[in-house]
Amino acid sequence: MSKTVIIVILGAVIIYGITNLVINENIYEMSEKTIDSYSQTKARNIGNSAAEILKVKIAENNNFRVNSAQTFNLDEGTATYRVVDTTFDGETLVKFDISANYLDTYKHIEAFVKIESSLPAFMNKGVMGEKEVTFNGDYLSVKDTNNLMINADVHSNMGVKLNGSNYLFEGFITSAGSISNDGSNIQIIPNTNPQGNPVSQQNVAPIAIPDFVAGNYFSKANQTYNSDHTFSGNIILGTKSNPKIIYVKGKVIMNNTNITGYGIIVAENDIEIYGNVSINSANQTASQFGMFTSGKLLINNANKTVEATIISQSETILNNQDINVIGSITSKDKVTFNGLRGRLFYKPADESIISPFFEIEYKRPKFAHFYE
């Protein structure tokens, strides 16, 4: 064999070896990239699946929270997670903090869930009465509480009577019976009315208001008074997640009280208010204190402010001038505004003070924000 042929053969062998080495290296790199890409995809899928599983848990129990990190196995990997309350852009949400792991490839996910719910229909009004809702004085108003996105509605299942002058309603007035307007300068201006509906409507469908029987809730009480009781000074209640329920086996008198926290006073007999009822560090969007009675509720003194969600089995009466209620009024009987310059500033009840007594409707939670 000639020298030239040997050189050609050796050259071909060397070229083949180099080419084969390059091909093998490319195959190895591609394999590594494929494995890495597969691991990243698996970790991402584990994280996304964990978020969906946690959302289902929230749907089953809207109070589901996990403050300390926990881990569960999922799809040949693991997901370590926390579930905590948070605020995002001013909105109250639930945050899922998830770290997914597949073969030491990690994927961090933050998901923010919105829990949507609604109060019972009879709690969605500023003023709600089974019987007549009557406005007798002058310069009376039912308004929003610095929230132009809600209407401060008035509804009666029997009839609404507007007997005075210079009224302002920042919501609809509706009645399953009649609406009589014998006053003057009465303005009905809902904050929102996208359908252009009539602002005053008679003969609408009635809204069922359940009876309020205080004794049905005695077992829920955290504190009990066995006879009439007067509240004055500072009252420390509970938290949003654990509101305090005070039960009174008799009449309640409220005389200049300052409320801290979330809670409800339940009375077997009447509630009479002679002084201010104010909230320390008040929730800006929802009422955190309730006064619920099997009797009537009476506010009889002038120049008083009452911050509360009011529910009465008998009549609710505001009897003097310059009475401000910040919350809502629901009565299984009549609601009567007498006097001068009375105002109700509608603030919907926080669900925490309603859920021990009435059913809250929860919708399936939705992801509001999702970050990978």
Average model confidence (pLDDT) for the chain? 89
Q: How far apart are CA 43 and CA 107, in angstroms?
A: 6
- Mean pLDDT for 273-298 is 94
According to the model, what pLDDT value does residue 69 have? 93
- Mean pLDDT for 44-67 is 89
According to the model, what pLDDT value does residue 2 have? 61
Q: How many CB atoms lie within 10 A of CB 78?
A: 18
Closest residue by Cα to residue 173 from 195, 151, 146, 194: 151
According to the model, what pLDDT value does residue 28 have? 45
Asked whether the predicted pLDDT for residue 132 surpasses 60, the reply is yes
According to the model, what pLDDT value does residue 92 have? 81
187: left (phi > 0), else alpha (psi -120 to 50), else beta? Answer: beta
CA 62 to chain CA centroid, Å, is: 11
175 SS3 class: strand
Q: How many CB atoms lie within 10 A of CB 339?
A: 20
Q: Are 242 and 222 a contacting pair, CB within 8 Å?
A: no
Q: Which of 5-19, 32-46, 185-199, 258-272 has the lowest mean pLDDT?
A: 5-19
Instruction: Give the H/E segment covering residue 218.
Output: none
Q: How far apart are CA 308 and CA 371, in angstroms?
A: 39
Q: How far apart are CA 188 and CA 13, in angstroms?
A: 96
For 75-108, write each residue's pLDDT tens digit. Answer: 889 999 999 988 877 678 899 999 999 988 899 9
Q: Are 171 and 154 a contacting pair, CB within 8 Å?
A: yes
According to the model, what pLDDT value does residue 117 have? 74
Both tokens of 95, joined, read 């945050």
pTM for this prediction: 0.74
Residue with the bigger pLDDT between 304 and 88: it is 304
User: What 8-state DSSP symbol labels residue 64?
Assistant: -
According to the model, what pLDDT value does residue 29 have? 52
- Mean pLDDT for 280-293 is 93
Query: Following CA atoms 355, 361, 364, 366 in sequence, which dihedral angle do they give, to the nearest 10 degrees?
Result: -70
Asked whether the predicted pLDDT for residue 308 surpasses 90, the reply is yes
For 141-156, write each residue's pLDDT tens digit. Answer: 999 998 888 999 999 9
